[in-house]
Structures are given as C-alpha cells and as structure tokens.
Amino acid sequence: MMQQHKKRAASMGDFFGWLVLLGLLTLAVAVYRIAGVDVFIPSSEETSLGFIGDETIMIGVILPFSGEGVVYGETMNRVFEIAASEINDQGGIRGRKLELVIEDGNCSRGGGAAAMERLLTKKNMRIVIGGFCDEESVGALRTTPGHSVTLFSPVSRLANLGSQYYNFARAYPGDSQEGKALAMLTYGDGKFVKAAVLYENTDRSFGIYSAFKKEFERLGGALLERQIDGTTNIDSMLSEIISQKYDTLAILTQTRKITAAVLDELPNFSKKNRFILSDFIVSDDELINKYSTFIEGGLAVEFSDNFDNEKFEHLRDAYRTRYGTTLPYSKFARTVYDSLFIIRDAIIGSGYDEATIAKWLRGLFEWPGASGLVTIDSNGDRISGYVPKILNNGRLVSYKR
C-alpha cells in the first residue's frame, strides 16, 4: 500500500509538473537573433512593447544645429534619416512606424538641457538619442531626474557619465577607454616604465589622464604628472622631464591653444623619447600639418579603423545615393547610424520602457554594427573599439610593436 501511495504521489507530481511546464510554454517566449544579438520577445505584442493603442514609436534626438558643433548637425541628421527610413521600410518596430523628434542641442549644456526639456514636456519622450557633443549630454542628463527617460549617446566621450546616471549609455568609447588604451600602449611589453604625462584642467583631459594613471600604475609604471594651463612654463617643465630621464611623454591635452604651446617647445625635447598623443591632437589636421616634423613617430589610439565591414559600406553607399555626395565625418556617422538600430533592437528585446531599455543596453555584447562589434559594460560605456596607431609622414597608420 505504501509503495502504491508513493507511486500515485509521484505520478501526481509529474502531472502537476507538466501543468507548470505547459503554463510556462503558454507565455510563448521566443529567442531570436536580431542583428546578431539574442533578444527575448514575449508573444503578446502589446505587452512586449508596452503600448496602449499608439501606432507610432517616437524617439527623441538631440543634435548640434548651432553652436560649436554645427558642422556635424546636418550630416548626422541625414544619417538618422537613412537609418529611420531603412527601419520603416523593413516594417518598423514590430509593425509600428518609427518617428524621430529632433531638437537642436547647440553643442552646449544649456542647449542640451533645453532640448531635453522640450522632448519631455511636449512629447513625454521615453527614449532620446543624444547628445552629440559632451556638453549636450551633460545638460540633457541634468534635466532627467524626476522623468522616466533613457539617454543613449552616439558620440559623447566624457568620462563617468554612466556611473552617475543609470539612464545613460553610449555607442562611442569614452575618455576612460581612451586613457586605459593609451596607458597600455605606453607601457607596451614593459620596456617603457617611466612616463611623464601632461594634462589640462578640463573634463575630458582630466578623464583621460585619470584612466591613464590608474592603468599605467596598475601595470607597474612610474608616472610624473603635470597639470598645465596658459601660465605654465612649458620649457622648464620639459627640462625637468628630461633631467629625470623619463622615456615617454604623454600629451593628453584637449584644447588647441595649450596643445600648441606644448608642441612649440618640442624641438628642445630629446628625439630619444617617445610621444604619446591624445585623440584630440591626432584628429586635428591643422596641428598635424604644423608640427609634423616634431611629432613624427608619435603614438596614439584611434577608434576602430574597421571601415571595411558590410554595414559601413552600405551606409556609405546609401548616403552617396540619397544625397549625391561622399559621407563626411565617417568616424562619428558610423555610431550615429548604429545607435538607432541598437535602440530598435532594445525596444524589441525589452519593450518600450526606459528602465528595461537602460538595463538591456548595459548588457549589449558584440552587437555587429557599422562601427564594428559593440559591447557596452555595466556602467553604460562602450568597451571596444580603440586600436594603436603611429604618425607616419603626417598620417596615422596601424602600429605593431
């Protein structure tokens, strides 16, 4: 009798187990590969996307149509137009049309704040892509407390934004990633363990320097650190560096005036020493042309030089076909293009909800885009993309130790 009772109990347990399994299956959760990323999509479209009778998905965009970054505004707007058109031509987002609401951020904190305020008060926006400039992103983020919105920047690089604001993530590697990559390049295989670093009292320069210092000292290097400004005696500082036999000089400046003041004194610096240059310096054609003789052989890191992938080639061809001209500012255009497709996949993967989208973005792994494989860490920072380069005849070329 006892054995029969146990068998009956076991069979009842199996029965209820199958009921539970059947109940789980009725949720019909499927796994799809979207642009190379596994996303989980509940079967109920309304529950999945979080809509109540709205047939259009609206996403805010902040771009610099005025201010210091005005040269980028219209080009990046065109790239967004291409991406939005392609998404809608492919059926939108789960059959719903995508609509962009674009605001001018003026490449400033005030402009970014005003743009975000307009998007939040007039459109009750849940997702905003921007800012393009660092200052736009800072201003926009300072407007978000008390509102339910996620900000995804395609270009902003200012360090620590994601650690301060959980509703922020970026598609472009930040200053912390540049500083770490430069430190690893400086240290190399351990042959260059003494470095002097010059930096400015600006947010970006300090962010790169802080990450450089942390990584270089972690590797075992010794660092001489000097903050410089318009009153600094550069010649005296370089003499100090030479006298203490530092084998590498890292110039992590971020403004043209201070950078030029340093480069003007380089003829007095030993040719035996290596130069490490910030992305700001090697991206400024005017500085490169003027000081090419002195900084020839300088090392730098540059955001992904993979311009041969199919998605970037498609973007380049689509831009030429649509606007009759070559795609400018391609280094930035790639992440702008990717950002809208990433948000599309985030909505499909987690619903039209700002909190779950922020969480989804911070778990993105090797998403294949026009800018290469995109991986975003738990701080909202893209952690992939920088490659070592060397200045050769005034041009940045690949560098191998």
Report the alpha-carbon angle 60-66-158, nearest 5: 65
Q: Which value, in Å, is the radius of gyration of the alpha carbons in the chain?
A: 25
pLDDT of residue 344: 97
- The structure's pTM equals 0.80
Which parts of the chain have pLDDT scores under 70?
1-54, 270-272, 305-307, 401
pLDDT of residue 331: 87
| C-beta separation of 253 from 278 below 8 A | yes
Domain 176-305+387-398: give its CATH code.
3.40.50.2300
Whether cis (ω within 30° of 0) applies to the bond prior to 131 is: yes
What's 33-174+307-385's CATH class? alpha beta
Buried b (16+ CB within 10 A) or exposed e, 106-126: bbbbebbbbbbbbbbeeeebb
The strand ranges marked E within 118-237 are: 127-129, 150-153, 168-170, 194-200, 222-228
Amino acid, res. 33: R
| C-beta separation of 369 from 311 below 8 A | yes
| Sheet of 194-200, strands arranged across | 222-228, 194-200, 248-251, 274-277, 299-303, 386-392, 395-398
pLDDT of residue 308: 73
3-state secondary structure of 325: coil
**Average pLDDT of the chain, as a whole number:** 85
Q: Where are the domains of the chain?
A: 33-174+307-385, 176-305+387-398
Please state, in angstroms and as integers, the Cα–Cα distance from residue 94 to each residue in 38, 91, 125, following that order.
16, 7, 19
Q: Could you report the per-residue pLDDT of 212-234, keeping only the tens digit for each?
A: 999 999 999 999 999 999 899 98
pLDDT of residue 347: 95
Q: Could you report the per-residue pLDDT of 63-104, keeping only the tens digit for each?
A: 999 998 999 999 999 999 999 999 999 999 999 999 999 999
Q: How many CB atoms lie within 10 A of CB 149?
A: 22
The strand ranges marked E within 95-205 are: 97-104, 127-129, 150-153, 168-170, 194-200
Buried b (16+ CB within 10 A) or exposed e, 367-393: bebbbbbbebbebbbbebbbbbbbbee
| C-beta separation of 303 from 385 below 8 A | yes
**Measured distance CA(66)–CA(111) in Å, rounded:** 9
Do 33-174+307-385 and 176-305+387-398 come out as alike in CATH topology? yes
| C-beta separation of 156 from 134 below 8 A | yes
